[in-house]
Structures are given as C-alpha cells and as structure tokens.
Amino acid sequence: MEVIVDVIDIAIVSFLLYHLFALMRGTRAVHMFFGLIVLFLLSVIAQWMNLIAVNWLISSLRTAWVIAFVIIFQPELRRALSMLGQNRLLSRFVTMRQSRVIPEVVKAVQEMSEKKTGALIVMEKDMGLKNYVETGTPIDARVSAELIESIFTRPSPLHDGAIVIQNDRVVAAGCTLPLSQDQRAAQSMGMRHRAALGLAEETDALVIVVSEESGSIAYAEDGKLYRKIDLAMLKNELFRSFGVVGDERGPG
C-alpha cells in the first residue's frame, strides 16, 4: 500500500512540475525554475548522504530563492495560475464571437496603418482585464472597423489610450496599460509598444499596435512583441490565437 501511495505522490509532483514548466517556458522565469529544481535535487542528495551542513546551507538558499522567485516573477506566475483555471466552454463561446470580430479589427488596422493613425487594441482572452478596463472610459458598443477608427482618429479625446475588446464588444477606450519593465524594450520601443508588451507580460491578452510614425503593425502576446508584420500575418495569428478554424472564419 505504501508503494502505491509513493507512486501516486511522485506522479502528482511530476505532473505539476511538467505543467508549471510548460506554462513558464519561453519566459524569463524558466531559468530560476531550473535553479529551484537543482536546489531541490541537491537537498535530496544531502539528506540521503546525511550531509548536515550542506543540507542546512541548501535549505537556507532554497527559502531565499523561492521568495525572490515570487517577487520578481509575479506577472508570469499570475498568468500561469490564470491559465490553469481556463474554462473550455467559455473559450468556445469566445471563439464563435471572435470569428465575427477579427475581420472588423483587421479592416480597422489596415485603414489606420495606411493613414499612420496610432492605435493600441487589446483583445481579451481567458484572463479578465477588469483592472485595466476601469482606467478608461466605458463604451460598451459592438465591434466595428468604423468605431475603432473613430476612437483613434484625432482629435478624439480617447486616441492616446488603448481600447479593450471583450467578446464582440468594445467595452472601454482610453485605457492605461502597464509598461514593460524590460530595459531593452525601454531603449528601443515607443510608449505604445512598451504598453502592449507590458500587458502581454502580465496577461494572456493579444495586443495590436499601429505605429503613428511609420504606420507599421505589431502585436504582443505571451510576453513577446512581434514587429513589422503584414495584414495577412496579423489575420492568421488572430485566427490561430482565438482558435478560429474552417468555416468559422467566414468570407474574406
């Protein structure tokens, strides 16, 4: 009986470690994650060989390492925990609505890119964005290319902030997004791009950016920024990201 319990215990720990690594893979947290695993293995070896001093030292380091891990990588951990609680039925409902929204968003991006109208468009997925929505002005209107363009066209008072799209509604405009703390981003990016990357680092949202200077298109997702993409690439990424396939895409 004890053997069965041990096997179940090991299986659960392995399952949790594997999925935790999968959620953090590609982020800055993964290196510290490996460091924690190394400390854990060294601790097991030290206990097995009865190395009292080494075990005490590793235990002290492990405590400090975990605290530093939680403090430094709050955005990654928050996003990982949110992804664990995803509701698949809700995701399917969102997918059906986004299949109608995406063409409107792409059309607006095309028009604004040609006119060099700066824009910041947040498309919500599974993680709620209430904290960011509350920083803006409530809109609650059905998504359309014309609405998006009118919000970002000067002299609209809301053109400097971001709009947030939930399902098939523009819920707010003029929203403030967190800026990326990546120092390399601060040196090479404008405010809109830093804001897009900052939100993508903290949530699972997809954020589209249109540059006011060049009209170039970019999007941020999963803590990464993809710059100078064309409309076809953007449309395909939106369909992929929101799980829209086959006939759901509709015409165009």
The CATH number assigned to the domain holding 190 equals 3.40.1700.10
Q: Which of 51, 84, 117 is the last residue of a domain?
A: 84
* pLDDT over 80 at 227, yes or no: yes
Structural domain includes residue 44: yes
Reported as half-sphere exposure (CB side, CA atoms, 13 A), residue 168 has a value of 13
Q: How many domains does the chain have?
A: 2
Structural domain includes residue 252: no
pLDDT for res 30: 60
Contact (Cβ atoms closer than 8 angstroms) between residue 127 and residue 79: yes
Structural domain includes residue 145: yes
User: Is the same domain home to 80 and 92?
Assistant: no
Q: Which of 84, 111, 135 is the last residue of a domain?
A: 84
Q: Which of 84, 110, 144 is the last residue of a domain?
A: 84
Contact (Cβ atoms closer than 8 angstroms) between residue 219 and residue 237: yes
User: Is the same domain home to 13 and 40?
Assistant: yes
User: Is the same domain home to 76 and 106?
Assistant: no
Structural domain includes residue 126: yes
Determine the structural domain holding residue 33 and report its residue range: 2-84
* Pick from 47-51, 142-146, 188-192, 228-232: least confident: 47-51
* Pick from 27-31, 56-60, 103-107, 201-205: least confident: 27-31
Look at the block and give the residue holding tokens 């170039």: 216
pLDDT for res 83: 55
What are 103's two structure tokens?
């063409």
User: Is the same domain home to 115 and 163?
Assistant: yes
Look at the block and give the residue holding tokens 């299986």: 11
Structural domain includes residue 65: yes
User: Is the same domain home to 215 and 96?
Assistant: yes
User: Is the same domain home to 95 and 150?
Assistant: yes
Q: For residue 51, which phi and psi values (nearest 5 degrees)?
A: -90, 90
pLDDT for res 139: 93
User: Is the same domain home to 202 and 138?
Assistant: yes
pLDDT band for position 116 (cuts 50, 70, 90): very high
User: Is the same domain home to 73 and 131?
Assistant: no
Q: Give me the mean pLDDT over the 140-169 stretch.
A: 93
